[in-house]
Amino acid sequence: MSENVMHISDSEFSELISSSDVPVLVDFWAEWCGPCRMIGPVVEEIAEEYAGKAKICKIDIDEHRDAANQVGVQSIPTVVIFKNGQLEKKWVGVTSKEDITEALDELM
């Protein structure tokens, strides 16, 4: 697991997205979710490539439902990007690394 991926809780979620001076990518996932395991390595690669330029986070929805409810997560994996506390982009299901990095680059 990448040291650049932050595993955050409900209590950390709001503070992190509102106080960050860089884009924040959040991967909502669960251990039992097959597609989540497919996108996990992509999120880790992005965390390595964007170290210092974006915050890359994961939230286990089985343990932290409040953050998922705040964002309206109804299916996983769901990947969202926030900038200045605002939701900028949201993907539901497996998405490509290129789509995610293109969105991050636009927000930098």
Here the CATH number for the domain that contains residue 49 is 3.40.30.10
Average per-residue pLDDT for the chain: 95
CB 33 within 8 A of CB 68: no
Q: What was the pLDDT predicted at 44?
A: 96
- Rounded distance, CA 89 to CA 96, Å? 14
Structural domain harbouring 98:
5-107
Residues involved in catalysis: 33, 36
- Taking Cα atoms as reference points, which of 95, 81, 91 lies closest to residue 39? 95
Please give the average per-residue pLDDT across 55-64, as a whole number.
Answer: 96
The pLDDT tens digits of the residues spanning 86-97 come to: 999 999 999 999
Q: What was the pLDDT predicted at 22?
A: 96
Q: What was the pLDDT predicted at 38?
A: 95
Q: What was the pLDDT predicted at 2?
A: 67
pTM attached to this predicted model: 0.95
Q: How many domains does the chain have?
A: 1
Please give the average per-residue pLDDT across 24-45, as a whole number.
Answer: 97
